[in-house]
Every structure is written in structure tokens, then in C-alpha cells.
Amino acid sequence: MRRLLHAVAFLTRLPVPGAPIAGPADVGRAAPFFPAAGALLGGLLALAARALAPRVPPLPLAALLVALLAALTGALHLDGLADTADGFGGGRTRDDVLRIMRDHAIGAYGATALALVLIVEVTLLAALLERGGAASALVVAPALARWVPVPLSRLLPYARAGGGLGAAVTDHGSWLGLAGATALAVGIAAGVAGRAGLLALAAVALFALAHGLACRRRIGGVTGDTLGAGVELAQAVALLVLLAAG
């Protein structure tokens, strides 16, 4: 239970009394429960959607849900997406990419990536709300997206010297933790969305492979920013597949 609370405390801004994160090792040991933290976020979104759906049309409701998720996570993964897009888009060498990613200012690549991903997520959610299939997607997509950092951090080294936020997962994760996170992701996907959920998991896994290969080629591994970008992009992938799968 304590590891689950640590996962929630690390990935969200939800108050978690009685389970302060003492250090990076706590985060690494909590990695198997990252999908559960995502499912918790999704459950809160589903409750909000159920309460507001009778009064708010699908498109503005979808925008409100995306905004709520950003608030619940402190826009952690959106920030990683912007930094990664700026670094990968503007950097020519590995050192250039890492230097640009460390800069907190958002450039043209980062702003464009944020705008496009948010538009995609809002429109996909609006379509799911119109079809009446948003509840399961709201739970499954955040859960599968938060599984992505676990295999990436286990299979790839931390790319930046001196450590960082992502090093908590790369340095203190384990193969057993990866197995646990994967089993949990499969259980959530199949239990909540059935065949469509498993298709979404397969698509997210393929995306994680492609994202990992891109990170390895450009910077030799992963950072907290690239892991956050992976979460945000995987969430959009999962929503797309869940919508296509009906």
C-alpha cells in the first residue's frame, strides 16, 4: 500500500497524508504502481464527466477534463513534452539537445507540440463522449500512459550526468517492478475496456518502443522530460485506439 501511495504522490498533486517520499529509492520502488496511479486519475475524470455530462456539451466538457488532468498532475508531463520537443527539434548534437531541454523557456517546437497534443486529446475525448464510451477510456488511457516510463527507464540508461527527476526511476527500478507494472496495465486494460483495452495497450507498447529508440538515438537514453513526453503522447495514442476500436 505504501508503494501505491508513493506512486500517487510522485505522479499527481493529490494530497497523500502519511506517505511522504523520502528519496529517489521510494520512487523507483513505486514504479509497479504507476498504472494504478493513472487509473486513479482516470477514475476522478470519469466521475467529473458523469457529473457534468448532462449540463455541458461534449467538446467543452472534453476541454474541461483535459484541463482537470493537467491540474491534478501539475502539468508534469506536458512540461516534459514541451522540453523534449524543443530539444529534439532544435538540437543538432546530443549536448545541444540536453542543454535545450534543461532550459525552462518554451520555444516554437515545444509550443507547437503542446498545442497539437492538447487539441488531439480534446477532440478524441469529445468524440468518445458523444459515443457514450468515455468512462472506460478515461480510466484506461491515463493508466496505460503511466506504464510507459517503467519499461523505458528499465531498458534505457539515464542520459544526463548528475542525475535528475527521471533518474529516480532508472536507478532504482527493477525487472520485477516492470513485470508488476505490466501485469497491472494488462489487468486494467482488459478489466475496464476488454478487447479494445488490450488493443490500446499493444499500440502504447509499440509507441513506447519507437519513443525509446528515438531517445536512444538522439541522447543515448532517457531523462525525466522524455519520460514525461512519453506519458503524454502515449495517452493520446491510447485514446485514439480506444475511439477507433469502439
* pLDDT tens digits for range 111-151: 999 999 999 999 999 999 999 879 999 999 999 999 999 99
Per residue in 27-38, pLDDT tens?
A: 888 999 999 999
Yes or no: say if 1 and 37 are a contact pair by the CB < 8 Å rule. no
What pLDDT is recorded for position 174?
85
Residue-wise pLDDT for 59-112, tens only, equals 999 999 999 999 999 999 999 999 999 999 999 999 999 999 998 899 999 999
Q: Residue 222 in 3-state DSSP?
A: strand
Residue 6: inside a domain, yes or no? yes
In the chain, % of residues over pLDDT 70:
96
8 has a pLDDT exceeding 60: yes
Q: Are 81 and 117 in contact (CB under 8 A)?
A: yes
Answer yes or no: is 23 within a domain. Answer: no
- 18 occurs within a structural domain: no
**Residues contacting residue 178 through CB under 8 Å, at least 6 positions apart:** 31, 32, 150, 151, 154
Task: Round to whole Å and give the CA distance between 143 and 13.
Answer: 16
Comparing CA positions, the residue from 183, 180, 181, 158 lying closest to residue 169 is 158
Does 135 fall in a domain?
Answer: yes
Question: What's the angle, vertex CA 43, arms to CA 62 and CA 59, rounded to 5?
Answer: 5
Q: Could you tell me if residue 64 is inside a domain?
A: yes
149, part of any domain = yes
Within a domain: residue 76? Answer: yes
Which residues in 112-148 are b (16+ Cβ under 10 Å) and which e?
A: ebbeebbebbbbbbbbbbeeebbbbbbbbbbbbbbbb
Domain count, the chain: 1
Mean pLDDT of 225-243: 97
Report the predicted TM-score, pTM, of the whole model to 2 decimal places.
0.94
Residue 172 has pLDDT above 80, yes or no: no
| C-beta of residue 32 within 8 angstroms of C-beta of residue 184 | yes
Q: Is residue 184 part of a domain?
A: yes
Q: Are 107 and 213 in contact (CB under 8 A)?
A: no
Residue 163 has a pLDDT of: 63
For 177, the domain range is 2-12+31-158+165-244
Please tell me the distance from the alpha carbon of residue 39 to that of residue 49, in angstroms, as a whole number. Answer: 15
Q: Is 80 exceeded by the pLDDT of residue 171?
A: no
